[in-house]
Structure 1
Amino acid sequence: MNAHLPLSALRHEPPAERRLRALVEQGLPLVPRPWQALAERCGLTEAEVMACMRRWQEEGLVKRLGLVVRHRPLGITANAMVVWDVPDAEVRELGRRLAVEPAVTLCYRRPRRLPDWPYNLFCMIHGTRRERVLAALDEIVERQALQAIPRRVLFSLKAYRQRGGRYTREERP
């Protein structure tokens, strides 16, 4: 739950909106009109669902809608997190440049954890074979002139469960 939205606001929300919040947490239905499908399941109109989603975005409850791709079943199993030790004054600009590289599927900044972890910029490169991922990284390093930036390539060994945002409280047994 987003801390910016007072819990008192959730206590007084209509039951249909509470049902909508739980449904959105499960993900949008893969149908031509997902808002209509959600509306039918929670007792609202499509327009009411869309208005509610807009309001939740304005209130900060929903920051964004994203897509979780389960890439391993598609054969994309050579997945590398490239971690970079970028000077702090340059990390924002380099992050923007890496984020638009076609091979980069995810790019974000994280704090260093010194002395053991000096890396502050992370980018993910997915591929079907390690050789292709490493070749794509070599091309990025060359194109972006990153030869002097310390980095490590960490290939995934295990797939963890992926899930989207949570907007309802977990029920405790």
Structure 2
Amino acid sequence: MIDATDREIIEALQGGLPLVPAPYAQVAEILGMDEDALLYRLAELKSRGVIRRIAAAPNHYKLGMTSNGMTVWDVDDDRITELGARIGALPFVTHSYERSRALPDWPYNLFAMVHGADRDEVEAKRAEIAAILGDACRAKDILYSTRILKKTGLRLKTKG
């Protein structure tokens, strides 16, 4: 599904982009290729589903966001697409997604991660979400994190 050049690109990027003004140009130079060729191949890898995205994964604790919770919601199925999009677009929701319920123990089908400087801030943000969901939400809860878990994507085993 990938050729040797694709593999080299993925291996070069899987540890993160260099923190320089032109990171793709630097990676292209390291790989001995033109920056436009690198960007083209990345777009091709993405269009084929080999990679999903290249994104920053900040350490929210170092940013002062020491409280975070995954809010979970039981939302009417006929409104989940509309309401999920609204919740995911909120500036304080870092990621949001729909999941199947695991009845009878787990009735929740909408998840939204919220970060704050403290639990009071997270609870205030959760209240904003609840107001948007209104009577389309039948149940809710929040799962607070107690530590940072792995923040890396899939890694290819490097040759050698």
TM-score class, shorter-chain normalisation, is: 0.7 to 0.9
Partner of 1:117: 106
TM-score, scaled relative to structure 1:
0.81
Deviation at 1:81, TM superposition (A): 0.8
- Is there any run of 5+ residues in structure 1 with no aligned partner, and where? 1-5
CA distance in 2, matches of 1:148, 1:62: 34
Deviation at 1:169, TM superposition (A): 3.9
1:85 aligns with 2:74: yes
Contact 2:76–2:136 (CA under 8 A) maintained in structure 1: no
Q: What is the CA-CA distance between 1:104 and the residue it aligns to?
A: 1.8
Task: Write the distance in 2 (CA, Å) between the matches of 1:170 and 1:92.
Answer: 40
Say what the alpha-carbon RMSD is for the aligned residues.
2.1
Give, in angstroms, the shift of residue 27 of structure 1.
1.5
Q: Percent identity?
A: 35
Kept in 1, the 8 Å contact 2:79–2:136? The answer is no
Tell me, yes or no, if structure 1 residue 26 matches structure 2 residue 10: no
What is the TM-score of this pair, normalised by structure 2? 0.87
Partners of 2:137 and 2:93 in 1: how far apart? 20
- Matched to 1:88, the amino acid is D
Give the whole-Å Cα distance in 1 for the aligned partners of 2:135 and 2:59: 30
Q: Secondary structure at the match of 1:145?
A: helix
Task: Tell me, in whole angstroms, the C-alpha distance in 2 between the residues paired with 1:90 and 1:51.
Answer: 38
Work out the number of aligned pairs and report it: 159
Gaps of 5+ in 2: none
Q: 2:115 aligns with which of 102, 117, 126?
A: 126
Do the aligned residues in 1 keep the contact of 2:100 with 2:109 (CA within 8 Å)? yes
The corresponding residue for 1:3 is: none
Return the letter of the residue paired with 2:91: P
Q: Indicate if the aligned counterparts of 1:104 and 1:123 stay in contact, CA closer than 8 A.
A: yes
Q: 1:140 to 1:57 in 2, by over 3 A?
A: closer
- Give 4+ residue runs of structure 1 displaced > 4 Å after superposition: none
Change (3 A) 1:116 1:170: farther
Give the AA of the match of 2:74: D
Deviation at 1:143, TM superposition (A): 4.5
Question: What's the CA shift string for 1:140-160, capped at 9, x where partnerless?
Answer: 323542585310011111210
1:72 pairs, out of 61, 74, 87, with: 61
